[in-house]
Amino acid sequence: MKSATHHSGLPATLVTARSSLSARIVLWVYFVSGFCALLYQTAWQRLLGLFTGADVRSVTIIVAAYLAGLGAGSLIGGVIADRLSSRAAVRLFGLCNLGIAGFALVARLLFYDLLFLRLHTLAANLAGLMVVSFLTLLIPTTLMGMSLPLLSRALVRSLDEAPQTIGRLEAINIIGAALGALVGGCLLIGALGFDGASYGGAALSALVGVAALAVAPAFAANDRRQPERQGAPAGHSARLWFWSALVFLSGFLAIGLQVVWFRLLSVPIESLAYTFAILVALVLLGDGIGTALGAHLVRRVADPRPWFMLTQSVIMLYVLGSVLALCVLSTRLSDPDSGAHALAAQPFTTQMLLLVVLPLALLLPPNLLIGLTLPFVQKAVQTETASVGRNVGLLQMANLVGNVAGATLTGTLLLDAFGTSGVLTMFALVGLGFALGALACAFPRPRAARCALPLTLALTLAALIALMPSNSRLWAALHGGEPAGATVVEDSTGVTAIIARGERATLYSGGSDQGQVPFLDVHVVLGALPALTHPHPHHLLIIGIGSGGTPYSAGLRPETRSILAVELVGSQLPALTDFAHTSDSAPLKALLADPRYHLVVGDGRQALAHSTGQYDLIQADAIRPWRAGSGLLYSREFFEQARARLARGGIMAQWMPTQRTADTFRQVFPYGVQIGDFMLLGGNEPITYQPEALVQRLDHPDVQAHLQRGGIDPELVRQFVLTQPVVFWTPETPRRGEINTDLLPRDEYFLNN
């Protein structure tokens, strides 16, 4: 009988079994595609970041471009999906993944070899940077974004099962993405490099594509659905756009909160290469678990509107409460004598609390609630089987456009204008609006049971908003200081806090101490020694300003005419200026008053790449090599860029934190000198390093006066010069050992190496 057989003549039981197995295979390959998506984002963001720069503005543009491509793909996939049969939808999904694999194979050639090495001038202006970022990421991200509408079309059989099926698809893809962020960011990149991770992702994407093409024949080829009839239910279009607007707003808040969370957690948790991967994995894990839970619960929800709005308000209630609790925790854990959040000095259990429990507590619950709402939205809009793919694509696009807007506006404009405290207050007001919206859903027939929860949430949120501290008080508390003794400046590039304790003040940037005023001995020697070594240091380039100790000490010679100092975190410069004026700090006043200094905000690698000038001395300040992104200033390619910008007889000076740094440095500079285990000097010509000559220059009256204006004891520099052993090398000196490269910064990924 016709009802008992498939169109191909196979028994119905065999078709059902094969379809069930095929559906499970599709779910697994969609899990792997989610894994690849975050692996690619992590690797490509770093590769493209070499071209755009490592500052927050550039990173924000890359993230926005990635998300915008996903949104475009969602829209295109939604338009196409409903016109295809199930078999054609799965087949197109497979072809998309083969296309992604092809792009991943050439990503290194495009992002690194072409854009960074050959066309870096295109990033010299904001317009060129944005256009190139969006265009280069458009193809692979569009192909990624098409996946959910296509697979929703293939797997959804009826309206009753649509929310659960789509929810399961989203959940398994998000959990795969969480694993991709964790495994990719903590294992694959550190072992294989950014290009190797991209190649590994290409192999997995190819496997996904082949598997999808292989299983596609198990899906029906004659089930194209008829287009939506003219007599579609009234108000369907209005309902779809209403929910799209809500999803846009939810996506805006979700990514905006992610920006804020990562900034807040940079204070108690050091920003390592692994930290970002772990935090992203926790965010995605919460989203995935929440989506899976929502897919299970959605059948029990009659009206999704109040539940969606209540969930959004609970998210903001949790966020504000956890931020206030974090302020209390930071204040109690701080050590007023040794400095704020002295993690290394804490007992083991406290370290685990900060490194493991704290991110879990702060990130997992709200993101679980964010994911919980996704199946509810699908239940609200899926009213026609003929438009399942379109609805999925439109809602996913709305969410991703909200993500793009949230990342761009929060990461550039809102934090500049209002600071973290102001942004949280604004987001909480939106959460308050959601609570009131849920309350409105109880009318026109209000009942106590339907009104009590939204009303309670609204009142509690209003109370927490009133308790929210000002931005300066918030960051002073997180750094363990009192507001009266703190100078806090926040902008889109980061937070700088200068906490005064007694006669010393510590500068924190991104949660990490970057120096002190009066200047620390290490920064004084780093700046003074290379300047004393060069016979005529006229023009200097210093990458990194910190508390000002290195650039100030580097300017001790009267022959020096100009000192360009480049700082990645823009908030440091106004913080130093404010502190100099309010504390009457003589060292900082001397630095800021010296007309030879040109202090600018920017990326040091970009400054070298775009510079056409030559420098007598180039120096990178003492940046910890295990910090996230620091590998860009310890790689062979960076040293080669610096070498190319040295004037005749010029010197590159480098702190020596690891043996690998020394080996990398020696491979680039034909001539050099190692001073103790502390510093390396390299050049294109032999370097004359004679302690007696350095001491003679140190005794010059102008040099002495410069150091004394900065509160520096010249005897400190003298003792270092006279007591440190010196080792020279020449082109004939053997080179050996592992090195750092742009594509595999081994010191940054120290756990893998």
Q: What is the CA radius of gyration of the chain?
A: 29
pLDDT of residue 336: 53
Contact 631, 660 (CB under 8 A): no
| Tens digits of residue pLDDT in 700-739 | 999 999 999 999 999 999 999 999 999 999 999 999 899 9
The answer on 473 and 522 residing in a single domain is no
Dihedral pair phi/psi, residue 474, rounded to 5°:
-60, -50
pLDDT of residue 223: 75
Contact 372, 293 (CB under 8 A): yes
Extract the tokens encoding 438: 């849920």
pLDDT of residue 749: 94
**560 compared with 484, residue with greater pLDDT:** 560
> Distance between CA atoms of 148 and 154, rounded to whole angstroms?
10
pLDDT of residue 296: 85
> Distance between CA atoms of 553 and 572, rounded to whole angstroms?
18
Instruction: Give the rounded percent of residues in the chain with a pLDDT score beyond 90.
Output: 57
2: pLDDT strictly greater than 50: no
Q: Decide if 314 is inside a domain.
A: yes
Q: How many CB atoms lie within 10 A of CB 135?
A: 11
Q: How many CB atoms lie within 10 A of CB 740?
A: 29
18: pLDDT strictly greater than 80: no
Q: Decide if 340 is inside a domain.
A: yes
The answer on 526 and 472 residing in a single domain is no
| Tens digits of residue pLDDT in 466-487 | 999 999 999 988 887 777 778 9
**352 compared with 440, residue with greater pLDDT:** 440
The answer on 588 and 701 residing in a single domain is yes
- Give the CATH number for residue 730: 3.40.50.150
| Tens digits of residue pLDDT in 291-310 | 999 888 888 877 888 889 99
> Distance between CA atoms of 200 and 380, rounded to whole angstroms?
39
The answer on 553 and 423 residing in a single domain is no
pLDDT of residue 241: 86
Contact 309, 434 (CB under 8 A): yes
**Is beta strand 562-567 parallel, antiparallel or unpaired with respect to 671-675?**
unpaired
pLDDT of residue 342: 47
**DSSP classification of residue 325:** H
| Tens digits of residue pLDDT in 195-250 | 999 999 999 999 999 999 999 999 988 877 655 544 445 456 788 888 889 999 99
The arithmetic mean of pLDDT across residues 532-561, rounded, is 95
The answer on 510 and 384 residing in a single domain is no
pTM: 0.88
The answer on 424 and 277 residing in a single domain is yes
The arithmetic mean of pLDDT across residues 66-94, rounded, is 91
- Residue 738, SS3? coil
Extract the tokens encoding 119: 């066309």
Contact 124, 361 (CB under 8 A): no
The last residue of a domain, from among 450, 481, 512: 481
Instruction: Give the rounded percent of residues in the chain with a pLDDT score beyond 70.
Output: 92
Q: Decide if 265 is inside a domain.
A: yes
The last residue of a domain, from among 451, 481, 511: 481
615: pLDDT strictly greater than 50: yes
143: pLDDT strictly greater than 60: yes
The answer on 274 and 132 residing in a single domain is no
Nearest alpha-carbon partner for 72 in 128, 18, 149, 159: 149
Is the link from the previous residue into 518 a cis peptide, with omega within 30 of 0?
A: yes
Tell me which of 3-12, 140-149, 328-337, 391-400 is least confident. Answer: 3-12
Ramachandran quadrant class, 621 (left: phi over 0; alpha: psi -120 to 50; beta: rest): beta
pLDDT of residue 335: 58
Give Cβ neighbours of residue 130 (< 8 Å, ≥ 6 apart).
61, 65
> Distance between CA atoms of 88 and 261, rounded to whole angstroms?
42
pLDDT of residue 231: 45
Using CA of residue 345, residue 351, residue 353, residue 355, what is the dihedral sign? Answer: positive
Extract the tokens encoding 342: 């002295």
The answer on 437 and 507 residing in a single domain is no
Q: What's the pLDDT band for 448 if we cut at 50, 70, 90?
A: low
| Tens digits of residue pLDDT in 347-374 | 666 666 676 788 888 999 999 999 998 8
- DSSP for 703-720 reads HHHHHHHTT--HHHHHHH
The answer on 505 and 460 residing in a single domain is no
Quote the number of domains for the chain.
3
The answer on 445 and 584 residing in a single domain is no
> Distance between CA atoms of 76 and 146, rounded to whole angstroms?
7
**318 compared with 232, residue with greater pLDDT:** 318
13: pLDDT strictly greater than 70: no
Q: Decide if 234 is inside a domain.
A: no
Q: Decide if 233 is inside a domain.
A: no
> Distance between CA atoms of 280 and 55, rounded to whole angstroms?
19
Beta-ladder partners of 262: none
Nearest alpha-carbon partner for 678 in 553, 547, 525, 516: 525
The answer on 215 and 111 residing in a single domain is yes
Give Cβ neighbours of residue 179 (< 8 Å, ≥ 6 apart).
35, 281
The arithmetic mean of pLDDT across residues 250-271, rounded, is 88
Q: Decide if 242 is inside a domain.
A: no
The crossing angle, in degrees rounded to 10, of helices 126-145 and 147-155 is: 10
pLDDT of residue 284: 92
Q: Decide if 595 is inside a domain.
A: yes
- DSSP for 433-483 reads HHHHHHHHTT-SS--HHHHHHHHHHHHHHHHHHHHPPPHHHHHHHHTT--G
Helix ranges (DSSP H) in 300-413 = 304-333, 348-352, 358-381, 388-408
> Which domain covers residue 259, as residue numbers?
247-481
Give the alpha-carbon dihedral of 145, 146, 147, 150, to 10 degrees: 150
Tell me which of 378-382, 576-580, 652-656, 669-673 is least confident. Answer: 378-382
- Give the CATH number for residue 106: 1.20.1250.20
Q: How many CB atoms lie within 10 A of CB 361?
A: 14
The last residue of a domain, from among 186, 221, 256: 221
Q: What is the mean pLDDT of the chain?
A: 87
Q: Decide if 228 is inside a domain.
A: no
pLDDT of residue 23: 87
pLDDT of residue 10: 43
> Distance between CA atoms of 642 and 665, rounded to whole angstroms?
11
pLDDT of residue 485: 77
Contact 165, 155 (CB under 8 A): yes
pLDDT of residue 384: 72
Contact 167, 411 (CB under 8 A): no
> Distance between CA atoms of 664 and 365, rounded to whole angstroms?
44
Terminal Cα-to-Cα distance of the chain (whole angstroms): 66
Q: What's the pLDDT band for 16 if we cut at 50, 70, 90?
A: very low
> Distance between CA atoms of 76 and 61, rounded to whole angstroms?
22
Element spanning 509, H or E: strand 504-509
Q: How many CB atoms lie within 10 A of CB 392?
A: 29
pLDDT of residue 537: 96
Beta-ladder partners of 489: 496
The answer on 507 and 470 residing in a single domain is no
